[in-house]
Amino acid sequence: MIVFGLVVLSSAGIVDAQKKFGSSYYYFFHQLVYGITPGILIAYILSKVDYNLWRKLSLPILLVALALMALIFVPSFGYGTKGAIRWLNIGGLVFQPAELLKLSLVVYFAAWFGGRHNRVKHWLYGATPFFILLGFVTLLMALQPDIGTLIIIILIALGMYFVAGANLKHLVTILAIGVIVLAILIKTEPYRFDRIKSFIDPNTDTRGISYQVNQAKIAIGSGGIFGVGLGHSTQKFGFLPEPVGDSIFAIMSEELGLVGSVATLILFVLLCLTLTQIMLAAHDPFARLFVGGINIWIMSQAFLNISAISGLAPLTGIPLPFISYGSTALIALLAGLGIVFNIAKD
């Protein structure tokens, strides 16, 4: 998937990279050098480390991740674009702490629920601490703002809570509160509400709020069965926004067609089945919940990205795992899979 993603990224970003950086293969080399190489190295190292270590360090890891998230709002460290502050620059090292937060939450929830298996169904010991932590994370994500990442975090949290054996009434209550909070966040920001309107009626303002989803559909439809050929997309020539980000699946569908799209879906399904098999084989509650959390993270993000860019869900700006441009996201995912490798060998 990493190799396939690098090939797709190289083709999808060739025009945008030349325009912004003066090098057609900027995205290719940046992803390779700053994402894939350190990510694979970290995954290899973590595959050799006993996974029980992360259970013991779960709280410090979470606190560091939350501190980095809070550091975003310090002007000398945090920066962003289009009114969203999502990146940190610490001594020249630029990264997106929200991706590290996802991994830290998977570790923490696996340790929390794994160590309280008999008390998960109890509101005081199970739902209340879970709800308080999730509420604080929601506040941090809303202030950035980054609602797309918040949705993924909520899905990870609820999914792990369910796998841990949560009381369904508690789960439904938390889900209902989450939906209400998301609805308020969407209603209070015009651009978020516009995305809902464009999803309900894609013909609304096709040159404005519905532009991206309509151009994405044109790209997907133009690919046909076998695609127009790798490197021959027309939508990446400034027509479709974010060709290396949340729109990359549309560019890939245009160039590789239905065959390439289905092949990508099959890769995700195979990964999902593999992770599920590892999860079911794990006897340790922490290990089982951790693998389940990684699985939920990857699959929910892939599902939402593909659904949104295909017009089956509102646009969220969520990248496609292993394929979209983003070094921090790739490193975080590979780090999580490195721990899964260690669990699989146990």
What's residue 119's pLDDT?
59
CA distances from 309 to 8, 11, 99, 189, 253 (A): 16, 18, 21, 21, 11
What average pLDDT score do residues 66-72 get?
89
DSSP assigned state of 288: H
User: Would the pLDDT of 122 be above 70?
Assistant: no
Write the DSSP symbol of residue 318. Answer: P
Condensed to tens digits (0 to 9), the pLDDT of residues 169-219 reads 777 777 787 788 777 777 776 666 677 777 777 777 677 777 888 899 999
Q: Record the tokens describing residue 160, joined without a space.
A: 């792990």
pTM: 0.90
Give the confidence band of 90 by pLDDT, cuts at 50, 70, 90.
Answer: confident
149-167 pLDDT, tens per residue?
888 998 998 888 888 877 6
Question: Which amino acid is present at 172?
Answer: V
Give the DSSP H/E element, type plus range, for residue 90.
Answer: strand 84-90
Q: How confident is the model at residue 81 (pLDDT cuts 50, 70, 90)?
A: low
Greatest Cα-to-Cα distance within the chain, rounded to the nearest angstrom: 58
More confident residue, 197 or 37: 37
Q: Are 316 and 246 in contact (CB under 8 A)?
A: yes
- Do the Cβ atoms of 336 and 103 come closer than 8 Å? yes
What does DSSP assign to residue 34?
Answer: I
Grade residue 257 by pLDDT with cuts at 50, 70 and 90.
very high
Neighbouring C-beta atoms of residue 151, cutoff 10 Å: 18
